[in-house]
Amino acid sequence: MATDDVWILGIHMTKFGKHPEQDTVDLAAEAAMAALADGGVSMRDMGVLAAGNLMGGPGAIGQQLQKQVGQTGIPVYNVANACATGATALRTAVMALKAGECDLGMAVGVEKLAGAGLLAGANRRADNDERWTPRGRFGAVAPTDGRIGTETMPGVFAQIGMEYGHRYGGTSFELFARISEKNHAHSTLNPLAAYSKRFTLEEIMGDVMIAYPNTRPMCSANCDGAAAAVVVTGRKLRTLDPDQRRRAVKISASVLTTDPWEEACQVLPNVNTLTRNAAHQAYEAAGVVPEDLDLVELHDCFATAELVHYDNLMLCAQGEAVPFFESGATWRDGTTPVNVSGGLQSKGHPIAATGIANIWEICHHLRGEAGDRQIPDAKVGLAHVIGLGSACGVHILEKAA
Amino acid sequence: MSEQVPLVDYLVLGDDPHLVAQECARCGARFFDRRNACAGCGGPEFSGVRVATEGEVRAFTIVSLAAPRIPVPFVASVVDCDGTSVRANVVNVEPSPEHVRLGMKVRLVTVPVGTDGGGTEAIGFGFEPVDTSNGAREEG
């Protein structure tokens, strides 16, 4: 029998940062075991597992995790959706529950990226051929990254922010740096962040330039980490203990979109329309409006990206992202706190873990367990991720009544 | 004179260098490589069309950290060529925020990539400012 309501029963994120002693499976297992313990259930209770890991090489992470913590024979879905992989895993588990296939499931995302350096497109061929030979879809005789624009992530997202400035005005190097200043300031309250150092605006603007206007601290930090969530149907939740019910967080909306065709979208990824589409669907499904949100964790893979998503998630009027930020709204004491975890620029961005770690952050506040960085009386939150290519995940979460 | 090959097959060399896109016969959507059906409307038929060689910079970044053998810094951009967006570097301009402007007018030029062991030269493309004296007006 299908169920309409699905809840987070248990959730965990590991410390983000460097974990040289733990491999991908160890990290996934740490997150999974802690999420199960947080929910008061065991691997034997799970009816479905969805798992994601992008950079770990061959081998299916879901089955590897089962071999580490419990091979119960349940269906496993290994998912991949670039930086939206974690959100996709969660959505996959939610869909299985909504379809009535089971009452409990788990989603896990894990990545080991510490020291990975610059992430770019797939164009890795050396250009020392003895004879120019056309290869690939464009008949290219040499790598195109760097010769025909850039495929590096800092450069792609820099252009996305600059394009917003071209359309609406008001952007500058300093404005983007001030967004990063906010997130690094927020990170000082997050003990699980990879970097929790506050930077002055001058330090951010004076740091190493990666792709103008993004300097190094304005880029997401490659690091190791994992996150896992246990989901439960409302029907099953009603049979559990009062304490499990009290700490459960309702998934009021779970949405995944891809980018619809528009002119230019295959030249520079359009991260705007699919985010706006996902937000529309999520607000409608949850029956909330942006003004209801007590906090937002959005995909600030670069400082230039955060700005456009204020607009795409409709936290402000269209074209008003700059004055919205300048009003102080997105600082933790503002009207719509954004990335109080420190965001990907300081918390870190272990790719496949990110889309569950941002859900963990929201849940932490809705449960009133966020300690020093607790947003007072938080009842509704939104978590957003973008995977280039593109996929967008938006989840709206609500505190148990 | 040595033989030349284009860096990519959608660059046409010769006296009048230009780019060629595959245009959907039904809706006019343009692509720089092959499609089985149009991503916009589903139409199955395409024909090669010439892309305008002048345009304006719609977005740019100045890349300081890039793949090996790519000289940095360089200006990566998206150029709006009369309604067709093109990914390209902005060349023949100082790679600094003071010299590159959103909305600046640019035109296509060819750029040498290198010569292989057989003496064949690969030629790429970029866009250079139309008005090289003082750049263009700032719109951003």
> Which residues are within 8 A (CB) of A289 and not within 5 positions of it... i.e. 6 or more apart?
A283
Spatial distance between the Cα atoms of A342 and A194, rounded to a whole number of angstroms: 10
The tens digit of pLDDT for each residue in A7-22 reads: 999 999 999 999 999 9
Residue B2's pLDDT is what?
A: 73
**CATH architecture, domain B53-131:** Beta Barrel (2.40)
Q: Are residues A313 and A365 in the same domain?
A: yes
Q: Residue A121 — very low, low, confident or very high, per pLDDT cuts 50/70/90? A: low
By C-alpha distance, which of B54, B139, B66 is closest to B100? B139
What does the pLDDT average to over A217-239? 96
Q: Are residues A240 and A280 in the same domain?
A: no
Q: Residue A122 — very low, low, confident or very high, per pLDDT cuts 50/70/90? A: very low
Residue B68's pLDDT is what?
A: 84
**What's the structural domain count of chain A?**
2
The tens digit of pLDDT for each residue in A328-360 reads: 999 999 999 999 999 999 999 999 999 999 999
Residues of A in contact with B6 (CB under 8 A): 139, 141
Q: How many H-runs (helices) and E-runs (strands) does chain B carry?
A: 0, 10
Which structural domain, as residue segments, surrounds residue A339?
153-192+252-399
Mean pLDDT of chain A, nearest integer: 95
What does the pLDDT average to over B79-104? 97
> Where exactly are the structural domains of chain B?
53-131
| Residue A24 forms part of a structural domain | yes
Where does a domain end: A209, A231, A251? A251
What does the pLDDT average to over A103-126? 77
Residue A221's pLDDT is what?
A: 87
Residue B131's pLDDT is what?
A: 85
| Sign of the four-CA dihedral A133, A138, A143, A149 | positive
Q: Are residues A227 and A303 in the same domain?
A: no
Q: Are residues A106 and A42 in the same domain?
A: yes
Q: Is the pLDDT of residue A287 over 60?
A: yes
Residue B137's pLDDT is what?
A: 45
How far is CA A386 from its chain centroid?
A: 7
Asked if B67 and A212 come within 8 Å (Cβ–Cβ), the reply is no
Q: Are residues A167 and A106 in the same domain?
A: no
| Residue A305 forms part of a structural domain | yes
**How many CB pairs lie under 8 A apart between chains A and B?**
167
The CATH number for A370's domain is: 3.40.47.10
Asked if B116 and A264 come within 8 Å (Cβ–Cβ), the reply is no
| Residue A206 forms part of a structural domain | no
What does the pLDDT average to over B39-49? 97
**How large is the ipTM?**
0.92
Q: Are residues A180 and A295 in the same domain?
A: yes
What does the pLDDT average to over A191-217? 97
Residues of B in contact with A319 (CB under 8 A): none
Nearest chain B CA: its distance from A340 CA (Å): 28
Residue A150 Ramachandran class (φ > 0 left, ψ -120 to 50 alpha, else beta): beta
Q: Are residues A180 and A91 in the same domain?
A: no
Q: Are residues A24 and A100 in the same domain?
A: yes
Q: Are residues A326 and A365 in the same domain?
A: yes
Asked if B67 and A132 come within 8 Å (Cβ–Cβ), the reply is no
- For residue B16 the two structure tokens come to 């009048």
* DSSP structure string for A85-130: HHHHHHHHHHHHHHTTS-SEEEEEEEE--TT------S----S--S
Q: Are residues A276 and A346 in the same domain?
A: yes
Residue in chain B nearest A126 by alpha carbon: B68
Q: Are residues A262 and A344 in the same domain?
A: yes
> Based on the number of CB atoms within 10 Å of its own CB, is A62 exposed (0-12), middle (13-18) or buried (19 or more)?
buried
Where does a domain end: A209, A233, A251? A251
What does the pLDDT average to over A164-174? 96
Q: Residue A123 — very low, low, confident or very high, per pLDDT cuts 50/70/90? A: very low
Spatial distance between the Cα atoms of A274 and A108, rounded to a whole number of angstroms: 24
Q: Are residues A110 and A22 in the same domain?
A: yes
What does the pLDDT average to over A253-257? 98
